[in-house]
Every structure is written in C-alpha cells, then in structure tokens.
Amino acid sequence: MGQGDAAARPDIPDPAISDEALKKAEEFIEQEEGATNRLTGWGGRIVISIAVAMSLFHLYAAYWIVPTQELRYTHVAFVLLLAYLLFPVSARFRNRIAWWDVLLGLSCVAIIGYALAGGEDFTDRATVPDRMDVVLGVIFIVLLLEATRRTTGPIMPVVAICFIAYAMLGPYLPPPWTHHGYTITRIVGHLFITLEGIFGVAVDVSATLIILFTIYGAFLQHSGAGKFFIDFSLGLMRGKANAPGRTVVLSSFLLGGPSGSGVATTVMIGSVAYPMMKKAGFKANAAGGLLAAGGLGAILSPPVLGAAAFLIAEFLKISYLDVLWMATIPTILYYLSLLIMVEFDAKRFGAKAIDYAQEMPIPTLLRRYGFHFLSLVAVVGFMVWGYSPMLSVFYATAVTFALSFLRPETALYPRKFVKALSDGSIGVLNAATTCASAGIVVGIVTLTGLGLKFSAIVIAYAGGSLLLTALYTALIVWVIGLAVPVTASYIICAVIAAPALTQLGVPDYAAHMFIFYYAVLSEVSPPTALAPFAAAAITGGDPYKTTLQSWKYTLPAFLVPFVFVLDPDGIGLLMKIPKDGSVWTIVWITLKTSLGLLALAAAAQGWALRRTLAWERVVLAIAGLFLVFPSLLEALAELIVGRDIAYTWAVGIVLGAIVIAAQKARGTPPAPA
C-alpha cells in the first residue's frame, strides 16, 4: 500500500485519507485474500524460503516439462504447507507459527508424498482403494477443507461437504435428485486418487497459469508499475472538470495486471483519488461506488483477467489468447458504460476542475517509466507470437525483471527480487485452495451426473424457454456468488448450470462467458461485497449505500452477457462471426449495444443532456432494453401491437431520440446546486 498512500503525497488536496481509514480498508483486502501472519525472525525466513522455492519450481515447470500428476500434487503440497504456516486457526493466534500448524502442514506434504511414491500402482487403485488409501484420503480432504476455511472463510468448505453428503445420501433424496449413492471408499478414490477430483482441472489451472500470473503481477508491482499507472492516469486527466472520475476509470483498467484483485485495486486507487474526488464535488457514497466498480473492472480486463478466465480456457480446451480475444469487446463496453456514468455524475454533482501539483510532466514520466507499458502487454505479445500461455507469462516475467533495471529506483535487486518471488506464491494461496476444494464439487458432479440432472430441472422449470433459462442461470450464479469467491462460483456454475444453456443451442463459449461475468458480480454483491465495503472505509460513506451505488454503476454493463446468449448476433461481442454474418455484424452488434448502454446509463443516473424527468428516465430505460436486452420486452411489445417486431433496435433508437429532442426543447440546463 505504500505506493498508493495518499497521506505520503503532499500534492493531494485535503482532506487526506486517515491511517485509520486505510487500515480499515486493508482489512477488507485481508478478507478477500486472507489475513496472513506477519512473521519475523526464523519463522518469517522459513516461510519466505518455502514461498520462493514454490515460485522457482513453477517458473521451472513453465520452461521445462514436469509430468501432470507430479506438477499438480507438488503444487497442492506447497499451497497447503504455506496455508497452514501463514493462516492461523483463529485471530487470537495471529503473527506466530503454532506447533499444530507445522504438524498439519507437514501432514499434508507427507500424504501427498505417499501418493507420489505410489506411482501407477496408487492411481490404478482409484476404483478399489485399500484401507490406507481411504484413511489418508479422508484425512487429506479434512486438511484441505480446513486450509480453505483459513484462507477464504467457511462457506466453500461447507459447500464441498454438502456435495459429498449428496453423493452419499442419494437413495434417501426426493426425486428428481435421487441416485443410487456412493460409499466413502468410492468417493475418496474418485476425489483423492484420480485426476478428476481435487487434483482435477481447477488445480491444473492453478498450477500452470494462476500461479504464474500472480508471480508476474508481483514482479510488476515490485518494479513500481502500479504507482506509474496511477501517476500516468492522474497526469493524463489533469485539469479536466471530471479528472478524478476519469482517473479512476483509466487507472483501474491499467492496474488489472499488477494488482489482480478487485478489492486491492479499489483501495490502491481510492487512497490516491478520493481526496480529489471529494474536492471536485463527488459525494462519498457515489465516489465509493465508482471506486468499487473500477476495482471490479480489474478482474475483467485483459491481459490479466480473473482466475476464472484461465479456467474457461481449460474447460473449453481453447487457448487463453482466445479467452482474451472474447473478453476484448465486453471489457471495452464495461469501461465505456462506466465512463458514461462518471460523466453523468460529474454533470449531476457539478464537478469542478481541480489542479494539483504533479511530480513530473507526462513526457518526462513516459520517458523514465514508460517501459512498464511494454511489461504489461508482453504476455499478450508472446501469445500472439505463438508461445503457449505458460511460456508467454514466463517470458513476460523475465521481460519485466530485465526492464526494471532501466531505472535504479525500479530495479529488482536481490531483496526486491526475493520479495517478488515470495509474494507471487503467497498471492496464489487463496485461489489455489479454492480451486482444490472446488475440485471436490467438480468430482461429485462428474461422479453422480448432477450437471445434466440439474440442467434438465432448470430447463423444465423454464418450460424450454431460453430467456427464462438464462434468467434462472444468472440468478443461480449470482446467489452462489454471494457466498463464495468468483473462482469458486464460476467453477460450480460451469459444471452444473452451463449445460442448461448449451442444451438450448447456446455455444459453449458464450455460456461460459455468461457465467463468468455473473460470477464477477459477487465482488459488488452483499454480503460478500468486499470492494464496496473497502471503498466505503476510505470515503467514510455508508457501506450498503456504497454497494447500491456500485450496483448502479455496473448494472448497464452486466446486461451485456444476455446479448451473448439471447441475440443470434450476440456472439459478435465475443469476436465470433455469427452464422450467415460477417465482420460488419460484429461492428453492428457492438454499436447497437453501445447505444443501449448509453441509454441505460442515462436512465440510471437521471441525466442525459440535462436532469431527466421521471417519464424520460422510464423511456430511456425501455430504449436501452430494446437495444441491449430486447428479448425481455419484445414478446410484450408484439402482444400489444399485434404483429411481429423485426427491428427492436429501431424502436430503442426512436425512443432515445424522443427523449433527446424533449431535453433540447427545454433549453440550456441549469447549473447544479
């Protein structure tokens, strides 16, 4: 946090963010990433050594081939050992390593050592494990769930236990949930011994991509990229009436790579930008909502999307570059919507132009530190060049390391280099334990066939309607996302809910992107609305009102996923050419959606050319829905007019034009109070 601490920057206007507010905000980062022990002495040196060894092992695995089973098992061994050493059993045991933590961590390593030593004989016993396999498997599952509880909270372990109970209690469940049931021996064999349970796809992604991206992000952060991107955004927007708001939008996009966390990005930007936002005229709750929405964008933005994006590539057996390609237009639309909302806010609040001292002009800043942009795009450049995602991140990390020596203050000399390696491994613990526990859910779903059964139930409730199925799926993802992190909610819903959409003809990639975007909503949805709560801690606003504001900022853009699955041309937003379409189809669907987002943003903010009247807000909302989400209104409109409406977009454009004409007829808007 030292890079973004407003209290240390004399150029930021009063009131500065208090140390107490920053401390409170950092508590929300700990809630997302886990409250780790702050260790010194021999304990700290041992933990750092293990974390550095873990990073070096995974960098080695990225360059040289390590067999799949050895890689996944070793990854989980490192993760669980560090989880027990860094995350105490409860808050009263913080900042020290208890003997039982050492014992539990080493037990995890010993059990994985037993599995690796067994070789093919061990894996061949998956369907009929012996007594020792079952005993150690049960112990390992319990240890994994406890490590997950320490790093992410109790919800994910409880969810995993419920799925295990479902597998065991199948004969006693009411239809249509009934199945013949599985013994603990069969369950342990499937979850612990095969590569379809705990050590399945999710752990593979954690061991091959997520860990490498956290190392890459740590190298960016320790080389000063985060501070540069904020300073660049501030300098670029300087002197404009809405400079603070625009700075939040631009810097949140740039910080997606170095931060990798929505909450951390919110706090990093907020600590610098909020004093200026307040002086410019932003209200506390609105400012906090914007900061949280910007932080949310950090896990939607290429080149480093959230951990769930790596899982999309693995589930669909496509390259990560394809996922980045599909995310490009939705990301642009998200930030376009956010920028429009910010501009309307500036008009509503009468935001004033503020000036502030700048450390150095933009040309000097770019000349000295512009190499950070090369570091940021290197990973995509290597993938375009033809390297695998693993090698691309490896080489991008090497580029970041080499470029850091262009300036003495950014150079990753041994102390900073070791810290970057250590932070890279520690930063993955939250996601890695979540992936391993989510493997239990995935394993139970494949074992019992729950995914297809659940899909059949959803489709039956929806009466075969794609619109209702999409609405039900969005609701399911959103509800699950209230309780578990983004990665976990995506994995759970990808295996139980995505088949419902694909059975109704939605392309698999569109279904998974739909689920991914709604899983991300958990970042701004109570009771796990950590990003808005952290923003409220900085602004001094009301946490729940700030959450509602963040919902308002994100709502227009989060109607976009419905375009993927409901509009025949909607896959154009994912850079896919629809059947009988062309490149112009992609351009048209993007333009149409952009206009719809503009109308929805104006309706949400109550401002277009001037403050809107009640009827204007309603008409703008309807216009936006006709452009972005026509299926919701099309059936009703056709019922009213008694004929098929082929061009709903035209209705939306006409309605929007009516509001603009009415506002122009009312004359020049009065200055805000």
Q: What's 40's DSSP letter? A: -
Q: What is the pLDDT of residue 569?
A: 86
The sign one gets for the Cα dihedral 371, 375, 376, 378 is positive
**DSSP H or E run through 120:** helix 99-124
Q: What is the pLDDT of residue 4?
A: 36
Distance between CA atoms of residues 19 and 479, nearest Å: 35
Longest dimension (CA), the chain: 83
The sign one gets for the Cα dihedral 345, 349, 354, 358 is negative
- 3-class SS letters over 583-614: HHHHHHHHHHHHHHHHHHHHHHHCECCCECCH
Judge contact between 265 and 294, C-beta under 8 A.
yes
Distance between CA atoms of residues 453 and 456, nearest Å: 5
- Token pair 């606003």 in the structure block, residue: 541
Q: Which parts of the chain have pLDDT scores under 70? A: 1-37, 239-241, 256-262, 351-358, 525-528, 632, 634-647, 667-673
Judge contact between 518 and 481, C-beta under 8 A.
yes
Q: What's 16's DSSP letter? A: P
**DSSP H or E run through 460:** helix 450-461
Judge contact between 509 and 323, C-beta under 8 A.
no
Distance between CA atoms of residues 539 and 83, nearest Å: 32
* Tokens encoding 503: 């059975």
599-657 pLDDT tens trace: 998 998 888 888 888 999 999 999 998 888 877 676 666 566 665 566 678 888 999 99
Q: Is 571 helix (H, G, I), strand (E, B) or coil?
A: helix
Nearest to 302 by CA among 246, 268, 257: 257
* Tokens encoding 329: 């237009």
Distance between CA atoms of residues 543 and 285, nearest Å: 8
Judge contact between 240 and 353, C-beta under 8 A.
yes
**DSSP H or E run through 652:** helix 648-665
Judge contact between 596 and 624, C-beta under 8 A.
yes
Environment class of 610 (CB within 10 Å of its CB; exposed 0-12, middle 13-18, buried 19+)? middle
342-401 pLDDT tens trace: 888 777 777 666 666 667 788 888 999 999 999 888 888 998 898 888 899 999 999 999
517-560 pLDDT tens trace: 888 877 776 665 778 888 888 888 888 888 888 888 888 777 88
Judge contact between 155 and 483, C-beta under 8 A.
yes
Q: What's 13's DSSP letter? A: P
Q: What is the pLDDT of residue 357?
A: 62
- Token pair 């112009």 in the structure block, residue: 584
Distance between CA atoms of residues 464 and 459, nearest Å: 5
> N- to C-terminal Cα distance for the chain?
36
Burial pattern 232-269, b for ≥16 Cβ within 10 A else e, equals bbbbebbebbbbbbbbbbbbbbbbbbbbbbbbbbbbbb
Nearest to 532 by CA among 339, 342, 245, 290: 290
| Residue 621: other Cβ atoms inside 10 A | 17
Alpha carbon 381 to chain centroid, angstroms = 22
Q: What is the pLDDT of residue 353?
A: 64
Q: What is the pLDDT of residue 548?
A: 85
Please give the backbone phi and psi of residue 607, each rounded to the nearest 5 degrees, phi first.
Answer: -155, 130
Q: What is the pLDDT of residue 25?
A: 59
Q: Is 569 helix (H, G, I), strand (E, B) or coil?
A: coil
Name the pTM for this structure.
Answer: 0.84
Judge contact between 608 and 602, C-beta under 8 A.
yes
Rounded CA Rg of the chain: 25
Nearest to 25 by CA among 519, 551, 543, 520: 543
Judge contact between 281 and 351, C-beta under 8 A.
yes
Helical axes 530-539 vs 284-297, angle rounded to 10°:
140
Judge contact between 226 and 220, C-beta under 8 A.
yes
* Tokens encoding 571: 């896959």
Distance between CA atoms of residues 497 and 518, nearest Å: 12
Q: What is the pLDDT of residue 241?
A: 65
Q: What is the pLDDT of residue 75?
A: 97
Q: CB neighbours of 11 closer than 8 A, spacing ≥ 6?
A: 356, 357, 358, 359
Q: CB neighbours of 125 closer than 8 A, spacing ≥ 6?
A: 133, 189, 193
